[in-house]
């Protein structure tokens, strides 16, 4: 870990810059994880409705967002 | 078709067409358009790409950057650590479960209905589609003119060829996120 990283790691979450960056980064991570998990669920034969229920969103929402990305 | 293009968008279109012509590649495709957006340092599109650390050089390289980190930079990983989230541990477990590169897949944009291309000229079919989509991006944002940022969003919606697509993914560029950054960038400029 270099100095910059140590500094950032030590920075308090009370610092708005760090806190906001963390939120933005988390959003990015969530998008990637969602895409991955939806792909995986589809490849395991999960129906869109089941995926939507697990994600807590509507079937239309999850289908519209992911349908053209998943194989099968 | 181009009358509603801003100066920087016209530059992008011209650069792409010229570059493809010079390379003897014939018609310009979406990849040429993306490169042209990236090299136009003054443009909003280039500034948004730069905010991800994506440069024209990065797009032309065959090494798409660190893998398996969902496009997160060191700085972002540190920021997550400061709020108690160990992103490295997330990556480790994902790789364990799904294998290397599982988090490198591009996050594609929401779908849009297909329509026929409207313009011809020095662009291939896909690039003509990009230009048409950029108009729709501007309309969707209620912007009067088409800038390089709308071309960028159109490219992200449509998808760009490899290896550019992987470069973008590894820098964490997605349509939805880039759209936010475009609005931030425009707000800052205003």
**pLDDT tens per residue, range A28-38:** 899 889 999 99
Tell me, yes or no, whether A58 lies in a domain.
yes
Q: Considering CB atoms only, which of B76, B110, B174 is closest to A25?
A: B76
Cα dihedral B94, B153, A49, A55 in deg (nearest 10): 50
| Cβ–Cβ contact B22 with A under 8 A | no
Location of structure tokens 């959003």:
A27
On the question of pLDDT at A71 being above 50, the answer is no
What does the pLDDT read at residue B64?
A: 56
* Residue A52 within a domain: yes
Q: Once rounded to an integer, what is the mean pLDDT over residues A55-59?
A: 94
Of B90, B105, B111, the CB nearest to A35: B105
Contact B68, B105 (CB under 8 A): no
Distance from CA of B94 to the nearest CA of A (A): 9
Chain B residues inside the 8 Å CB shell of A21: 75-76, 79
Residue A67 domain-assigned (yes or no):
yes
Three-class SS of B157-180: HHCCCCCHHHHHHHCCCCHHHHHH
- Number of domains, chain A: 1
Q: Which residues of chain B have pLDDT under 50?
A: 111-120
Is it the case that residue A40 has pLDDT exceeding 50? yes
At residue A23, does pLDDT exceed 50? yes
- What one-character DSSP code corresponds to residue B146? B
Question: How far is it, in rounded angstroms, from Cα B134 to Cα B155?
Answer: 8
pTM of the entire predicted model: 0.58
Does residue A51 lie within any of the structural domains? yes
What is the least distance, in Å, from the CA of B114 to any CA of chain A? Answer: 13
Q: Determine contact, residues B43/B37, Cβ cutoff 8 Å.
A: yes
**CA–CA separation, B186 vs B170, rounded Å?**
25
**Token output for B85:** 């989230």
* Residue scoring higher pLDDT (A58 or A70): A58
Which of A29, A35, A42, A44 to mutate to probe the B interface, most B CBs <10 Å?
A29
CA nearest to B172, candidates A40, A62, A6, A26: A26
Which of A24, A40, A69 has its CB closest to that of B108?
A69
CB atoms within 10 A of CB B140: 12
Residue spans per domain, chain B: 2-65+110-189, 74-104
Contact of B102 with chain A, judged by CB distance below 8 Å, is answered with yes
* Residue B113: per-residue pLDDT: 45
Domain B2-65+110-189: top CATH class: mainly alpha
**A30 assigned to some structural domain:** yes
Q: Which domain holds residue A72?
A: 25-72
Closest CA to B160 of B24, B16, B26, B44: B16
Q: Is B67 on the interface with A (CB under 8 A)?
A: no
ipTM of the shown complex: 0.73
């Amino acid at each position: 870990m270099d100095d910059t990283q140590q500094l950032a790691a030590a920075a308090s979450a009370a610092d708005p810059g760090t806190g906001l960056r963390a939120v933005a980064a988390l959003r990015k991570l969530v998008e990637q994880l969602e895409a991955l998990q939806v792909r995986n669920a589809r490849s395991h034969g999960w129906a869109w409705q089941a995926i939507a229920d697990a994600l807590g969103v509507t079937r239309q929402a999850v289908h519209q967002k992911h349908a053209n990305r998943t194989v099968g | 078709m181009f009358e509603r293009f801003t100066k920087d968008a016209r530059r992008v279109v011209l650069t792409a067409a010229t570059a493809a012509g010079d390379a003897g590649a014939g018609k310009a495709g979406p990849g040429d358009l993306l490169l042209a957006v990236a090299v136009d340092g003054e443009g909003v599109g280039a500034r948004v790409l730069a905010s991800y650390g994506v440069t024209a050089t990065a797009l032309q390289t065959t090494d798409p950057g660190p893998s398996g980190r969902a496009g997160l930079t060191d700085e972002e990983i540190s920021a997550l650590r400061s709020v108690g989230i160990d992103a490295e541990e997330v990556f480790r477990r994902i790789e364990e479960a799904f294998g290397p590169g599982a988090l490198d897949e591009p996050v594609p944009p929401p779908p849009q209905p297909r329509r026929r291309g409207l313009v011809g000229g020095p662009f291939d079919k896909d690039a003509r589609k990009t230009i048409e989509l950029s108009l729709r991006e501007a309309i969707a944002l209620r912007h009067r003119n088409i800038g390089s940022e709308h071309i960028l969003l159109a490219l992200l919606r449509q998808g760009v060829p490899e290896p550019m697509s992987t470069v973008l993914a590894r820098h964490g560029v997605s349509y939805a996120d880039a759209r936010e950054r475009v609005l931030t960038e425009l707000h800052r400029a205003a």
